[in-house]
Amino acid sequence: MKKCPVCKLATDPVAHREWLPFCSDRCRLIDLGAWLNEHHRIPSDEDGPHPAKNEDDYTTH
Ligand SMILES: [Zn+2]
Protein backbone atom coordinates (compact mmCIF):
# COMPACT_ATOMS: atom_id res chain seq x y z
CA MET A 1 0.00 0.00 0.00
CA LYS A 2 1.40 3.36 -0.98
CA LYS A 3 1.23 6.34 1.28
CA CYS A 4 0.50 9.96 0.69
CA PRO A 5 3.86 11.78 0.81
CA VAL A 6 2.24 14.72 2.57
CA CYS A 7 0.09 13.26 5.35
CA LYS A 8 1.33 9.65 5.24
CA LEU A 9 -2.19 8.36 4.88
CA ALA A 10 -2.49 5.11 2.96
CA THR A 11 -3.72 5.82 -0.56
CA ASP A 12 -6.04 3.68 -2.60
CA PRO A 13 -5.26 3.41 -6.33
CA VAL A 14 -8.95 3.58 -7.13
CA ALA A 15 -10.36 5.93 -4.53
CA HIS A 16 -7.50 8.39 -4.81
CA ARG A 17 -6.69 7.91 -8.48
CA GLU A 18 -7.31 11.57 -9.26
CA TRP A 19 -4.67 12.76 -6.85
CA LEU A 20 -2.09 10.00 -6.77
CA PRO A 21 0.47 9.80 -5.33
CA PHE A 22 -1.41 12.00 -2.90
CA CYS A 23 -4.56 11.15 -0.99
CA SER A 24 -6.44 14.30 -1.86
CA ASP A 25 -6.39 17.53 -3.79
CA ARG A 26 -5.46 19.30 -0.56
CA CYS A 27 -2.30 17.24 -0.11
CA ARG A 28 -1.43 17.64 -3.75
CA LEU A 29 -1.61 21.41 -3.41
CA ILE A 30 0.38 21.35 -0.18
CA ASP A 31 3.14 19.40 -1.86
CA LEU A 32 3.04 21.63 -4.90
CA GLY A 33 3.29 24.71 -2.71
CA ALA A 34 6.25 23.27 -0.82
CA TRP A 35 7.95 22.41 -4.06
CA LEU A 36 7.42 25.89 -5.43
CA ASN A 37 8.77 27.47 -2.26
CA GLU A 38 11.84 25.29 -2.34
CA HIS A 39 12.74 25.38 -6.00
CA HIS A 40 11.21 28.48 -7.45
CA ARG A 41 12.62 31.23 -5.32
CA ILE A 42 12.47 34.42 -7.28
CA PRO A 43 16.02 35.78 -7.59
CA SER A 44 15.90 39.22 -6.03
CA ASP A 45 19.03 40.84 -7.38
CA GLU A 46 20.16 38.53 -10.13
CA ASP A 47 21.42 40.56 -13.07
CA GLY A 48 22.44 37.86 -15.49
CA PRO A 49 22.15 38.25 -19.25
CA HIS A 50 18.91 37.16 -20.85
CA PRO A 51 19.11 34.74 -23.77
CA ALA A 52 18.53 36.77 -26.90
CA LYS A 53 15.44 35.89 -28.87
CA ASN A 54 15.66 36.22 -32.61
CA GLU A 55 12.20 37.39 -33.61
CA ASP A 56 12.85 36.91 -37.32
CA ASP A 57 13.84 33.32 -36.76
CA TYR A 58 10.81 32.85 -34.54
CA THR A 59 8.31 34.14 -37.07
CA THR A 60 9.72 32.26 -40.05
CA HIS A 61 8.98 28.97 -38.33
ZN1 LIG B 1 -2.52 13.21 2.17
- What's the gap in Å between 31 CA and the centre of ligand 1? 9
Distance in angstroms (rounded) separating the CA atoms of residues 20 and 40: 23
End-to-end CA, the chain? 49
pLDDT for position 8: 96
Give 10-residue mean pLDDT values along the chain (61 residues): 94 95 95 82 65 65 62
pLDDT for position 60: 59
pLDDT for position 4: 96
- What's the gap in Å between 37 CA and the centre of ligand 1? 19
